Amino acid sequence: MLSSPFAVRNGLFLKLPHGTGICIGWRWFSVLQPGKIVRLRSYGSEEIERRVIDVTGTTVVVCRVEEWEEAQREGREPMCVGFPRTAVIETK
């Protein structure tokens, strides 16, 4: 993975608010932001689809899409888990 200083210096990475960004020539092009649906590789190499809740440094905090919808209906916070950004395969 490209380091941020290298990518910024060489015009490959656009720094955006909340620690999100677009890296040209890497696996993803959409901005990782709360509410987006992402496909990621889980710990057993299984591909899963989750909703982004937060992005903090190198961690993407996600939950099941169904859990997010239930939490919205019930007025509570969704139960989430963090994954490394490198686990993100695709952003929808």
| pLDDT given at position 38 | 92
**Beta-carbon contacts of residue 85 (< 8 Å; ≥ 6 apart):** 32, 55, 58, 59, 60
Look at domain 4-91 and name its CATH class: mainly beta
* pLDDT above 50 (res 3): no
Q: pTM here?
A: 0.65
Q: Where are the domains of the chain?
A: 4-91
C-alpha to C-alpha distance for 7 and 49, rounded to whole angstroms: 28
Q: What pLDDT, in 10s, does the model give residues 24-77? A: 444 444 578 888 999 999 888 889 999 999 998 889 999 999 999 999 999 999
The arithmetic mean of pLDDT across residues 21-26, rounded, is 47
